Structure 1
Amino acid sequence: MTVVEPTGHLPAAEPTAPSTAPALPSTPLERRYRRLLLAYPRQYRATHGDELLDVLLESAEPGRSVPALKEAWGLLVGGVRSRVAHQATGNVWVDGLHLAVTAVAAANLAALLPYAGALPVWTLLSALALLAVLRGRVRAAVPLTLAVGVKAVAIASGEQPFDVTLLPVHPSWLADRALFADSSPFAVAAAYAVVLAGLVVLASVPRPALRARSWWWCAAVLAAAWAGPAWMAEETSYPLGLPRMAVEAAAFGLAAAGCYLARDHRWALACGIYLLAASGQLIIHVEQLTRQHLAYWGVLVVLAGWAAVAPFRHRRHCLD
């Protein structure tokens, strides 16, 4: 038993020799549980991973080497839910606006990327602007976005600011039409104006309030820049690339799922702003729209609407 000294302090514990007992080899079941736990964020695993693993191993049936299907599914869903909840932190409006600005800036870069050979400097500046937005450095992104936006609008208008550019700007293998051949200066200006307006608002937010975004946005830019296989008639005046549609539908679907799991509107706000920025092209070509255009836009509107109403769902149980 420990004797308390008159001073009220416990006596110093004697140093113990480090344990030299060899670690027990992990079983196949433990290794598979550890792989499933990778679905959870790293911080969660560092805090609760060992405890959760012990519970899983103790409750497993004797002799089992593979987790039960229901148990594995529960771990995966719980990990995704935990990751979504981890993202749903900070001010909803600020984070949602930052997401929207990131998405529209990525779309602007994707529009220029197939023409990087003819516009290397402006494509690089657009990429630097997106990089600044991704890292939360919105003040640095403002002049970059403004310069690229002025150049893009000028090309769409047939003007020559800053430098002389051979018009029309022909694409690389990523696209099959000249730059802004099926667009309007007003639609191009609207997309950059949305980004600039969002950056100005975000510039008034303290730097720690903006988080760094995922590098997966760069992969989304590359996918959206590719015109992809032809799936519309050649005479269509406003063709939509299949990869771009897939990227947008996947992003909106993930946003709706995030709103559903976290009961948070930040992803719905981002979807709404992106739809506002991208609607200019459809409005300009309203007389040439086909059923494919309407179906594509309808999918985005439905997903955005689901994202908006999903946070209001009722709880089914206390842990939901």
Structure 2
Amino acid sequence: MSPDVSPLERRYRRLLRLLPATHRTARGEELLGLLLDLDHGRRHPSRHETLNIVALAIRLRLTTPVTTTALTTGLSALLVAAGTQPAGHTLDLFTGAVLTTDMPALIASWPQLVVLGLLPLAPLIAWLCGATRTALTLQAIFLTVTVGWFVIDVLSGAGMGINPGQQLFAYAPPVLILGLLAIAARERWTAPRPRLFWWALVPLGILAWKGTGEWGRHGVYVSDAVPTVIGIHAAATAAVAAAFAVRRHRPAVIVGVGLTGFLAGWLIPDRLLVNTAMQHFDGQPLPLAILIAVAAATMTGIGHLARRPMAS
């Protein structure tokens, strides 16, 4: 950079690096000149213009194809994991979670239980059908009702002894889903393809929650297998990312980085893995959402690699 560059210009150039490279190439110098004119005589960018640049960078990066794909995949994974949880637990109630002596009372109220178990699937189904605003409205209603019940319990004294940290962690997925749906509605995002993959995950997610209910009841925590599972996921993610980053020698990159990721996953301490990955057995949808997102990203990456010709 030229020594004649003023401190203001140098700092604005650093800020403009937040913008996507394509936008900087097309409009960077023009935008820089405008900012220097607006803040002429200053040594530091004004707070107003700094916030404008940050907001512009966020908006532009949210509209890039890679970011859009990543966020819609994450949103879909969260919706599947959180939406299928009540249905899975309802299925578990009627297939082993309740003692035989208590089944008559459960059977007597089965319509209400089934409805309550299936209702949380509504935002997911609306999202997969392309009705993003409907999904947003339904998610907002469900979150409001859930938080309202919690507040009523606290005010009535029924919520004594609740761990605030655990409660905040429990509300994190639905709040994150609501935020992503709001962005999706604004940017007119749609569910990622192939849609059949995501529709198939609905019954699979219900069965997964049923299975974790069984495992949790009988204390089956297969901690020895966790490093292998995490290693495989780390290998697949790292290999696909590296294959996109490196144009040449893709097969070698996939194998090499994949083995490295597998070893890295294997060497992570068991205690750390049990305390993170196995949280799914405690009824938290986030680990299942991560698993679904990794599977979807891996499938998308492999599909892109299969369609692209190999570089010479």
The TM-score range, normalised by the shorter chain, is: 0.3 to 0.5
The structure number with the bigger radius of gyration is 1
Q: Normalized per residue, which structure has more helix?
A: 2
